[in-house]
Amino acid sequence: MFPIDFLYASARRRPDAVAVEAPGARLTYAQLVARVDAIASGLQGIDPAPQSRVGICGHNTLDHLLALLATMAAGKTWVPLNPREVKSELDAKIAVTRPSIVIADEDCLDKFSRLSDATLVVGTKGLARNGKSPARPNLPLDATQAIKFTGGTSGRPKGVMQPYRAWTTGAVCMIHGFGFTPNDRVLLAAPLTHGTSCYVAPTLALGATLVLGAPRARPSDVLDAFAELDVTATFLPPTMIYMMMSEPGVRDRRYPKLSKLIYGAASMPPPKIREAEAVFGKVLGTNYGQTEAPQVITTLAPEDFRDDANLASVGRASLLTRVAVMDAARRILKPGEEGEIVVAGDLLMTGYLDMPEQTAETLIDGWLHTGDGGVVDERGFVFLRDRLRDVIITGGFNVYPSDVEAALVRHPKVHECVVFGLADDKWGEAVNAAVQLREGARASEDEIIAFAKAELGSVKAPKRIVFYDDLPRSAVGKVLRREVKAMEEKRPHGAN
């Protein structure tokens, strides 16, 4: 089964059910299929070759969603191009993937400077061949549905080849892990080019409704959607949830239908989880995934958060996924023993585009080596211990940045923070923290360090605090630890 088959199956079962609501538009499943097939036929008219690549650059609009679904229906490979990224990054991704077609919003045309031999299409209206159905190519389930990118912003982009089987597996695991139903109304708020796209197939599989709000959603827009559009579920990075919690009047509003506020892409410290529940109710959930195993390696549903012992966990292995912990000799460890998180199952990528050596280093004997340290307890709950290369070794002790971050955000003046190690003559590495205070708050370096020592002891407490008005973030709002670290490595000692 292919991911697009979820849409066709729901259209047969529930043709008159609402598939998509967007500003000024509402499409039933029958109408959505007609629109998608017409655009897919247009794509095949430009390039009939199966598996040719289609780059899509746009914000969260109906046009963007239609282009994505049409790319799937045409048997082509999706290359997401996030307009929040800088031109050099998008140029590099286009150069690596060589799409034959690029579909872009009109206000995104200045986001890339070269398209090689690609046909540029503005929007989808000119593509549609109304009344036509696309040819269905006969492709194996290991064929590539999407090429998404992982890694830093410098050097050659690392394109992850996500196969059809990974997308269908992810949809089944999402439905099972979070209990989605045909009555759900899922808000697509975070960029479609990233983790939000993983919620499209499971929603359509159930005949539920995808809701599109503001194309470039601000915290206030998401809150409005919760209150006014009967939204039941959405996926957001923690940073967006923090900003929503800081909106004026957020605690006075009601969100009666919201049942699944799922966060991912970064961890959320336990104090922030409880603070968010005080605002939105017992609706928080989370999942752990990587681009190499998209979104649902593990899931932690809202009911799991009732137990304080689970607050620092990312949940249990999803339905069709195996999770284990290995040591450096690639031996599977017992529950409670710490090592590298490894993953097996149909959720995995087939490899990195044109990078066989990197693929061989990551996929070994059917296991994806995530590069994340962690443990699995006796109940099967997974606890991450940061990227293995991010662990700070200070004075011979291992310090995990997430442990320190979880303590720092308990300070009432700290909005968000990121912790990293810097070379130090005395300690080998010294624990450092970059802190963004709550709006209007004032705090000194000594105050924050003293608080950390009281919470963590002197070994784990930062030796230095630097304050930022706004921490550097990725295109999806995730704080960029390595960028902060690189900036601080260049900063003269004592500067703040």
Residues 426 and 76: their CA atoms lie apart, in Å, by 55
Can you list the domains of the chain with their CATH numbers? 1-316 (3.40.50.12780), 391-490 (3.30.300.30)
CA distances from 495 to 385, 428, 480 (A): 30, 21, 20
Closest CA to 370 of 291, 477, 479, 266: 291
Residues 127 and 67: their CA atoms lie apart, in Å, by 10
Within 8 A by CB and 6+ apart from 397, the residues are: 459, 460
CA distances from 365 to 347, 359, 376 (A): 15, 12, 21
Residue 428, pLDDT score: 76
> Which stretches of the chain drop beneath a pLDDT of 70?
151-156, 386-388, 396, 493-496
Beta strands (DSSP E) in 164-249 are: 185-187, 209-211, 233-236
Residues 152 and 323: their CA atoms lie apart, in Å, by 25
Strands 392-394 and 397-399: antiparallel
* CA–CA–CA angle 363, 368, 369 (5° rounding): 95
Q: Which two tokens stand for residue 295?
A: 């979104």
Query: Which phi and psi (to 5°) does residue 451 adopt?
Result: -65, -45
Measure CA of the first residue to CA of the last residue in the chain; give whole Å. 55
Yes or no: say if 169 and 320 are a contact pair by the CB < 8 Å rule: yes
pTM: predicted TM-score of the whole model, two decimal places: 0.83
Residues 254 and 224: their CA atoms lie apart, in Å, by 10
CA 489, chain centre distance (Å): 28
Residue 237, pLDDT score: 85
